[in-house]
Structure 1
Amino acid sequence: MDLTEAAQAWREDGFVILPGFIPPDELKPAADELNLLFPSAEGFHDETDPQRGRSSSRPSHAGQGTTG
């Protein structure tokens, strides 16, 4: 994907995937720590991971959880 296609995808879809943009050796430290922020797939679905409900107490959309 060239940058023109990437920019068009960004405008149309709101996101773009750039394969190989960040080298794997630079991604590895972040990937290794994902479990500190997010539950594992297994822990999420079987409800055993303490991270599962961590973010569910916060509204995910503007205006959600407000009254009035």
Structure 2
Amino acid sequence: MITYIKESIDELKNNVTLPSRAESSNLMVIVAVFSILFALATWGVDSVFSELITIYFNLLIG
């Protein structure tokens, strides 16, 4: 386990490069847009299922 941690730290120090500030900002905007779109899609599906369940139980109770 110690060897793994040491190798991981070495990998981070020598082989990982961080993106530029501009690239990070662009990626952040892309992630934010897709997160909002995914949240809206989830809300839409939830709303449809909620309506369908309401209709089903209203017909069942009738």
TM range (shorter): 0.3 to 0.5
- Between structure 1 and structure 2, the one with the greater Rg is 2
User: Which fold has the larger relative contact order, with Cα–Cα distance below 8 Å and residues 6 or more apart in sequence?
Assistant: 1
Kindly indicate which of the two structures has a greater share of residues assigned to helix: 2
Return the TM-score normalized by structure 2.
0.33
